[in-house]
C-alpha cells in the first residue's frame, strides 16, 4: 500500500516538511494524521475495502489527504478531471461506480449541477479550503488502516480512447511504488529535494513522478494550484524548488514568456514528456535546468523510458526502466530492427508494475495486450544503444497540453448541434500545445464558427474545445466509412481560427505548415 510509505515516513521524519502550499507547510506526521482522520470520516459514510471514491477537486493539501485517506480505508481512489462537464462527467461518475464524491467548492459551484438525479444523491464530502477541510477532521478519531495487498487496485484514472468514451485505467499500489522507486533512481532524488507540482493532481504525471518520489525518499512536495509562466521562477525561488515535472506545453510557454537567461533559482531538473527539441535546448541553455525527457502512459507504469543524468541522448525519450521491457513491433507483431519505426510495445519484467486492466472493459485490455505485450498505439524507434525516439501516434488521440483527447468524444457532442450533418475532429501541430484541435463540419446550412464554439463550450471541457473550424461538403472516408483524418490535418485559408477570430492568412498558413 502506498499509505504504508506515508506511515513509515511519518514515523521516520515526523516533523519533516512533506507538503508545501502557498498558505503553509505540512509535516509528514500532520498529513498522515489528517488522512487517518479522513479515513474515519469515510468509515462513518460506510466506505470500506474495495469501494470506489471519486475526487473532483483542484490541487491542494486536501486533495492528497483525501487520496491517502481513501487508501487507508482500503478503498480505491477515482481521480477525475475536475474540468469535465456534461455527458463526459456523467459518464465517468457512472462508469467508475463511485459510492461517494469528494469535491471542492469551485467544482460544487460550477459543475455540481451537471449531475443527473441519481448522481446528485451520492454522498458528498466538501473541501471548502485546505484549512477548513483539515480543521473539519479534528472531530474524528484516527482510523486503524485496512491493509490490502500491493497487487490490489489503488486508483482508477480515466484516459481517452480512439473509438469511444474514456477508459478507466486501474493501477495497483505496487505500480505506484515501482514508479516512485524508478523515478528516484533515475533522477537521483534525495531527501533534500523539493519537487514542484503545478500539473493537476488527478493526472498520472504528478501522482507517479512527484508524489511517489517524495514518499519514497521523504523529500518535500510544493503544490501549486496551477502553472503560471509569469511567476514560475519567483515561486521556485520562494519555495526552494529543486525540480519539477512537466508536459511539453509548460516548457514551451516558459521559454516564450522568459526571453533572456534566468539562473537565480535552485531547480536542477525538469522531468516529463513532450518537450520539442528547440525548447529542450533553450531550457538547458538559458535557464540552466536539465531536461529529462521521458515516454509514458497511464497504463504502463506512468513512464516507461527516460533520460537520466547518467544516460541522456538529446531528442530521445531515454532508455527503458529496469522493471519494464520496451520493444518496437511491426504490423505483424514481430520485433523490428534497430532504427525502424513501428509501434511502441511494453511488458513488465516484475509483477504488477503496469495496469491491472481497464475498469469494466476487459475487451479493451485483451485488445491492447495481445501477444503478451501492451500495445501503446504510438509510433517509435530504438537506436543501437536502446534510446527510444517518439514519432507520433498510430491511434487517433489528440495530445493537447498534456491532455489525451479522443476526437470521438468531441464529434459525439458536435453531432448534436442543429444543422450539423457530419463532422470530423483532427489534431494539427502547434508549437505551444503540441497538438491543436481542428473540427471539420458538414452543415445543412450556414453556421457561424463562433456558434460552434459556444455550443461545444456548454457540453465539453475547455481543454477539448477546437481552435480551428472548417466547413466542407463531405468528410473524406474509406470504403468502410472510416474517417481519413490524415487528409484533414492542414491549415490554410479555408480554416477559421477561433482564437484570432478570422480565417487563416497566407503568412499564418505558411508558418503552421512548415
Query: Does any domain span residue 478?
Result: yes
Query: Does any domain span residue 220?
Result: no
Query: Does any domain span residue 248?
Result: no
Crossing angle of helices 277-287 and 248-257, in 10° steps, is: 50
Which pLDDT score is estimated for 162?
45
Query: Does any domain span residue 177?
Result: no
Query: Does any domain span residue 402?
Result: yes
* Cα separation values, 60 from 127, 181, 198, Å: 10, 24, 10
Query: Does any domain span residue 403?
Result: yes
The three grid cell numbers given for residue 169, joined into one nine-digit string: 485505467
Query: Does any domain span residue 75?
Result: yes
List, as one string, the DSSP characters of 393-413: ESS--EEETTEEE-HHHHHHH
Which pLDDT score is estimated for 160?
65
pTM: 0.83
Domain range for 428: 398-512
d(Cα 235, Cα 224) in Å, to the nearest integer? 9
pLDDT in tens, 442-470: 998 999 999 999 999 999 999 999 999 99
Residues ≥6 apart with Cβ < 8 Å to 86 = 114, 413, 458, 459, 460
Percent of the chain residues past pLDDT 90, beyond the cut: 82
CATH number, domain at 102? 3.40.50.980
Pick from 148, 174, 195: which residue ends a domain?
148
The count of structural domains within the chain is 2
Question: For residue 375, what are the β-bridge partners?
Answer: 345
List, as one string, the DSSP characters of 54-87: EEE--SSHHHHHHHHHHHHTT-EEEE--TT--HH
Taking a C-beta distance cutoff of 8 angstroms, is the pair 370, 378 a contact? no
Pick from 115, 148, 181: which residue ends a domain?
148
Pick from 148, 170, 194: which residue ends a domain?
148
SS3 content of the chain, % helix, strand, coil (to 5): 35, 25, 40
**Residue ranges in the chain whose pLDDT is less than 70:** 160-164, 478-482, 506-514
> End-to-end distance of the chain based on CA atoms, in angstroms?
49
Which pLDDT score is estimated for 193?
98
Residues ≥6 apart with Cβ < 8 Å to 6 = 28, 31, 32, 35, 68, 215
255 phi and psi, to 5 degrees? -65, -40
CATH number, domain at 466? 3.30.300.30
Query: Does any domain span residue 328?
Result: no
d(Cα 437, Cα 158) in Å, to the nearest integer? 20
Burial of 167 (0-12, 13-18, 19+ CB in 10 A): buried
Amino acid at each position: 500500500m502506498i499509505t504504508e510509505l506515508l506511515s513509515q515516513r511519518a514515523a521516520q521524519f515526523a516533523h519533516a516538511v512533506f507538503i508545501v502550499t502557498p498558505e503553509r507547510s505540512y509535516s509528514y506526521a500532520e498529513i498522515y494524521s489528517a488522512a487517518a482522520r479522513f479515513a474515519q470520516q469515510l468509515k462513518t459514510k460506510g466506505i470500506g475495502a474495495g469501494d470506489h471514491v471519486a475526487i473532483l477537486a483542484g490541487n491542494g493539501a486536501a486533495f492528497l489527504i483525501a487520496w491517502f485517506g481513501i487508501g487507508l480505508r482500503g478503498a480505491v481512489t477515482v481521480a477525475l478531471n475536475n474540468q469535465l462537464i456534461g455527458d463526459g462527467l456523467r459518464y465517468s461518475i457512472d462508469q467508475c461506480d463511485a459510492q461517494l464524491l469528494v469535491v471542492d467548492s469551485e467544482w460544487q459551484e460550477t459543475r455540481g449541477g451537471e449531475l443527473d438525479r441519481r448522481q446528485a444523491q451520492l454522498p458528498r464530502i466538501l473541501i471548502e479550503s485546505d484549512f477548513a477541510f483539515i480543521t473539519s477532521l479534528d472531530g474524528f478519531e484516527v482510523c486503524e488502516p485496512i491493509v490490502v495487498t500491493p497487487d490490489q487496485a489503488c486508483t482508477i484514472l480515466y484516459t481517452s480512447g480512439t473509438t469511444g468514451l474514456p477508459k478507466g485505467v486501474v493501477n495497483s499500489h505496487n505500480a505506484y511504488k515501482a514508479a516512485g522507486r524508478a523515478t528516484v533512481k533515475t533522477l537521483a532524488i534525495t531527501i533534500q529535494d523539493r519537487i514542484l507540482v503545478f500539473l493537476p493532481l488527478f493526472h498520472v504525471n504528478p501522482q507517479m513522478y512527484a508524489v511517489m518520489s517524495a514518499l519514497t525518499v521523504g523529500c518535500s512536495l510544493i503544490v501549486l494550484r496551477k502553472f503560471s509562466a509569469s511567476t514560475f521562477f519567483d515561486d521556485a525561488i520562494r519555495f526552494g524548488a529543486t525540480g519539477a515535472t512537466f508536459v511539453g506545453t509548460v516548457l514551451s510557454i516558459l521559454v516564450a514568456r522568459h526571453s533572456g537567461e534566468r539562473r537565480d533559482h535552485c531547480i536542477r531538473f525538469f522531468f516529463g514528456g513532450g518537450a520539442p527539441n528547440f525548447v529542450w535546448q533553450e531550457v538547458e541553455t538559458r535557464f540552466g535546468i536539465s531536461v529529462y525527457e521521458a515516454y509514458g502512459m497511464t497504463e504502463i507504469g506512468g513512464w516507461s523510458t527516460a533520460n537520466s543524468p547518467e544516460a541522456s541522448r538529446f531528442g530521445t525519450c531515454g532508455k527503458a526502466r529496469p522493471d519494464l521491457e520496451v520493444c518496437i513491433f511491426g504490423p505483424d507483431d514481430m520485433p523490428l530492427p534497430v532504427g525502424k519505426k513501428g509501434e511502441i510495445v511494453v511488458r513488465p519484467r516484475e509483477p504488477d508494475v503496469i495496469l491491472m486492466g481497464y475498469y469494466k472493459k476487459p475487451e479493451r485490455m485483451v485488445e491492447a495486450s495481445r501477444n503478451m505485450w501492451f500495445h501503446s498505439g504510438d509510433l517509435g524507434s530504438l537506436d543501437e544503444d536502446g534510446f527510444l525516439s517518439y514519432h507520433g501516434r498510430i491511434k487517433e488521440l489528440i495530445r493537447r497540453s498534456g491532455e489525451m483527447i479522443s476526437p470521438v468524444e468531441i464529434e459525439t457532442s458536435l453531432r448534436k448541434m442543429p444543422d450539423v450533418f457530419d463532422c470530423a475532429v483532427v489534431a494539427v501541430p502547434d508549437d505551444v500545445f503540441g497538438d491543436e484541435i481542428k473540427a471539420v463540419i458538414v452543415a445543412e446550412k450556414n453556421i457561424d464558427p463562433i456558434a460552434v464554439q459556444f455550443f461545444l463550450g456548454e457540453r465539453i471541457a475547455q481543454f477539448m474545445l477546437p481552435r480551428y473550424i472548417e466547413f466542407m461538403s463531405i468528410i473524406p472516408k474509406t470504403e468502410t466509412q472510416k474517417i481519413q483524418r490524415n487528409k484533414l490535418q492542414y491549415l490554410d485559408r479555408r480554416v477559421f481560427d477561433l482564437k484570432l477570430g478570422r480565417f487563416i492568412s497566407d503568412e499564418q498558413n505558411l508558418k503552421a505548415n512548415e
